[in-house]
Amino acid sequence: MASALRTSVRRLATSATRAAVAESSVNPYGIRVSKAQGVVDTLVGAIGNTPLIRLKKLSDETGCNVLGKAEFQNPGGSVKDRAALYVVKDAEERGLLKPGGTVVEGTAGNTGIGLAHVCRAKGYNLVIYMPNTQSQGKIDLLRLLGAEVYPVPAVAWENPENYNWQAKRHAERVSKEDPEHGAVWTNQFDNVANRRAHIETTGPEIWAQTGGKLDAFTCATGTGGTLAGVTRFLKDVSNGSVKSFLADPPGSVLHSYIQSGGKLKERSGGSITEGIGQGRVTDNLKEEVNELDGSVNISDEKTIEMVYRCLDEEGLYLGASSAMNVVAAKEVAEILGPNHTVVTMLCDGAYRYADRLFSEKWLKSKNLRDSIPTHLEKYIVLP
Ligand SMILES: Cc1ncc(COP(=O)(O)O)c(C=O)c1O
């Protein structure tokens, strides 16, 4: 980024910090009320501005401030609402989408849910392509949120029948048939409007919420939008002093890529986590991958234990990718040593995964039953 732009990012961030302080007032009961909690224009205005929660037990254990960004508080229940809003806004700005137009995406998860909310709020049609290996629950949820859903055979990325390419062709077809309203394939993996959501919102929020006093950021990647966008903003605003670490699950190639300085793309095993892990460097991640200060590889055993620990120690009901991020934040805190502040993302809640994460049978099927410490076994409430 050019230095002039960097300076303006710094200036903007300083004023964002001031604004965050100025924009909050104390109510008659001594409780701080922020303008971010005021009246917002439609559901879209309720995306972002999530709290940063201090994880007490892990902070005590490491002597650091371990902070988690409560993304499960977004209207669609996950961090992906931010990307959904930005890819739609980007299509509007480029004139590809007009009122009544159609958004098409290939997704099996949170992005689809985020898009469904955003499209309803903005009056667009939503078409989702997904591999037919996904649960009926996911299909039903997207349909009840108003989306048209096409489960298609699960084939590799290189195959023209892969769900992403089918989504692309569908958008091309509709935009030819209905040029008046338009259609767009939002392409979350390689559309850098996704990363921009985190440069313009998540990064500045973290900087303002910590008053610029943070030492490191870490999170896992699916599309890479969150890690790349937050890293870009924090590096620019802090003159490179905030460190950024990738958190990677088994089965993803990115840990080996970063550890080998971009030479290797080794994949080993698989993971119970959903929405994260990558086989390639996406366009969203490409520009920032060399800015990272390192990576930590987190096993499913550590992740599942942290799902249960967060519930027991912090009252946080988190999905596996969030729990993995918390393990990564703890490991980064241990690398940095006491008296540092480390921020991570609490991407979504456990609601959509409860039938697996808290099931005796499922834990055994994944060889993870022994990872739950005895004092946490009471949370395995499903057979
Ligand atoms: C639960 C969950 N966590 C993390 C991520 C990763 O976020 P990103 O796509 O910004 O890398 C996703 C993405 O879909 C997700 O669904």
Closest to 72 in 3D by CA, of 315, 332, 313, 284: 315
Ligand 1: nearest atom to the Cα of 198: 10
Mean pLDDT lowest for which of 87-91, 234-238, 260-264, 328-332? 260-264
Same fold, 3-75+198-379 and 80-185: yes
- Taking the centre of ligand 1 as the mean of its atom positions, its distance from the CA of residue 281, in whole angstroms, is 15
| pLDDT at 264 (0 to 100) | 87
Q: Residue 2's pLDDT is what?
A: 45
Q: Which atom of ligand 1 is nearest to the CA of 229?
A: 10
Domain ranges of the chain: 3-75+198-379, 80-185
Look at residue 298 and tell me whether its pLDDT is greater than 80: yes
Active-site residue numbers? 80
Tell me the CATH number for domain 3-75+198-379: 3.40.50.1100
pLDDT, one tens digit per residue, over 188-241 is: 999 999 999 999 999 999 999 999 999 999 999 999 999 999 999 999 999 999
Q: How far is the CA of 316 from the centre of ligand 1 (A)?
A: 18
151 has pLDDT over 90 = yes
Q: Kindly state the average pLDDT of the residues 73-95.
A: 97
At 135 the pLDDT is 78
pLDDT digits (tens, 9 = 90+) for 31-59: 887 766 788 889 999 999 999 999 999 99
Q: How far is CA 235 from the centre of its chain?
A: 19
Give the residue, by CA position, lying nearest to ligand 1 atom 14.
Answer: 275
Question: What topology is assigned to 80-185 in CATH?
Answer: Rossmann fold (3.40.50)
CA 28 to ligand 1 center in whole angstroms: 39
Side-chain half-sphere CA neighbours of 77 within 13 A: 15
Ligand 1 atom closest to the Cα of residue 320 is: 1
**Model confidence band, residue 6 (pLDDT cutoffs 50, 70, 90):** low
Tokens of 39: 């009246």
Render pLDDT for 251-266 as a digit per residue (tens, 0 to 9). 999 999 999 999 888 8
pLDDT tier at 303 (50, 70, 90 boundaries)?
A: very high
**Both structure tokens of 86:** 């930005």
Predicted pLDDT at 37: 72
**CA 375 to centroid of ligand 1, rounded, Å:** 30
Q: What does the pLDDT read at residue 21? A: 45
d(CA 114, CA 220): 19
Sheet holding 148-152, edge to edge: 148-152, 125-131, 102-106, 183-185
Instruction: State mean pLDDT over 273-280.
Output: 89
CA distance linking residue 328 with residue 252, whole number of Å? 15
The preferred substitution site among 74, 78, 189, 317 for testing ligand 1, maximizing ligand atoms within 8 Å of CB, is: 78
Q: Both tokens of residue 332?
A: 């980064």
Whether the predicted pLDDT of 18 surpasses 50 = no
Instruction: Tell me if 71 sits within 8 A of 342, measured CB to CB.
Output: no
State mean pLDDT over 365-369. Answer: 98
Mutation pick for ligand 1 pocket among 74, 188, 219, 347 (CB with most ligand atoms within 8 Å):
347
> Ligand 1 centroid vs 79 CA: distance in angstroms?
7
pLDDT tens-digit readout, 159-170: 999 999 999 999
Pocket probe for ligand 1: among 78, 79, 324, the residue whose CB has the most ligand atoms within 8 Å is: 79
Query: What digits encode the pLDDT tens for the residues 100-149?
Result: 999 999 997 899 999 999 999 999 999 999 988 877 888 899 999 999 99
The ligand 1 atom nearest the CA atom of 322: 3
The total of other beta-carbon atoms located within 10 Å of residue 63's CB is 13
Indicate the average pLDDT of the chain. Answer: 92
Residue 226 alpha carbon, nearest atom of ligand 1: 10
Ligand 1 centroid from CA 27, angstroms:
36
- Torsion sign (Cα): 211, 84, 330, 293: negative
What percent of the chain has a predicted confidence (pLDDT) above 70?
A: 93
Pocket of ligand 1 (CB under 6 A): 78-80, 109-111, 220-226, 275-276, 319, 321, 347-348
The single residue listed with the structure tokens 């086989």 is 279
Task: Specify the residue with its C-alpha closest to ligand 1, atom 6.
Answer: 222
Q: What is the pLDDT at residue 11?
A: 56
Please tell me the distance from the alpha carbon of residue 279 to that of residue 270, in angstroms, as a whole number.
Answer: 12
Judge contact between 253 and 195, C-beta under 8 A.
no
Rounded CA-CA distance 152/222 in Å is 21
Using the mean position of ligand 1's atoms as its centre, give its distance from the Cα of residue 224 in Å.
8
Residue of the nearest CA to atom 16 in ligand 1? 275
